[in-house]
Structure 1
């Protein structure tokens, strides 16, 4: 329990630091300053939203009778933001293509995979790596 609390505090501090850096960057670009209280409020809101996201992802996986969060769970989480959903879908497709290319190269190098009608090898392709829930 103590280790979990310490990890949570480290994550909270990392979020606060990152929010501070982003506020500084935006402030320089827009020629405005963010108060320490504003940065702390944004950081706390961000941290709590991340906790909510983690809980939702875990529940989506459990609802699907899985112990692993997959890309479909992440897409379901992002469903209310069309731009975010589009971005995540494109990234998933890019990763799947990249993984397929890497597996094809590996299969050709090791001589494993299914033979296509043109004589080339076609590796078995699976979706990108998932995250396992403890």
Structure 2
């Protein structure tokens, strides 16, 4: 992918993230009866984007260390190990997904 295409894609992704965060912030501020400035939404979007980039780097490193070019569920679980609450939610979700697959009829 050319540099310009990558930059355009990144900008589209950031715009979509800003829009989604803006919707969530709007919903929550209505519930709480408070206001949020566009600057707050912009700062929150930048913080989330930085976190996404950090997670991306870590997941790619875990997969590369394991000799894979594809990120796996195990990589995500390894990343979540420091956050017990998140790890528990992800583990329950993964277990549910695996359980659903094994209950499907075979042909």
Q: With structure 2 as the length reference, what TM-score do the two structures score? A: 0.94
Which residue number in structure 2 is paired with residue 118 of structure 1? none
Q: Give the 3-state SS of the residue equivalent to 2:82 in structure 1.
A: coil
CA-atom RMSD in angstroms: 0.9
Is the counterpart of residue 95 in structure 1 residue 101 in structure 2? no
Q: Shift in Å at residue 72 of structure 1?
A: 1.0
Q: Which has the higher contact order (CA 8 A, sep 6+)?
A: 1
CA distance in 1, matches of 2:82, 2:97: 23
Unaligned runs of 5+ in 1: 111-134
Partner Cα separation in structure 2 for residue 11 and residue 101 of structure 1: 37
Alignment: residue pair count: 105
Q: Which has the higher helix share?
A: 2
**Pairwise CA distance, 1:95:** 0.5
Q: Match of 1:12? A: 14
User: Which digits, 9 at most, give the CA deviation of each residue in 1:10-41, with x for residues without a partner?
Assistant: 11011111110111011011111100100100
In structure 2, the gaps of 5 or more residues are none
TM-score normalised by structure 1 residue count: 0.75
Q: CA deviation at 1:79?
A: 1.5
- Matched with 2:38 is 36
Q: Secondary structure at the match of 1:69?
A: coil
Identify the residue that residue 115 of structure 1 maps to in structure 2: none
Q: Which runs of 4+ in 1 moved over 3 A?
A: none
1:68 alignment counterpart: 70
Q: What is the CA-CA distance between 1:76 and the residue it aligns to?
A: 1.1
- Give me the whole-angstrom Cα distance separating, in 2, the residues matched to 1:40 and 1:75: 29
Counterpart position of 1:130: none
Structure with greater proportional strand content:
1
Matches within 5 A, 1:37-52: 37-52=39-54
Distance 1:101 1:55 in 2: 35
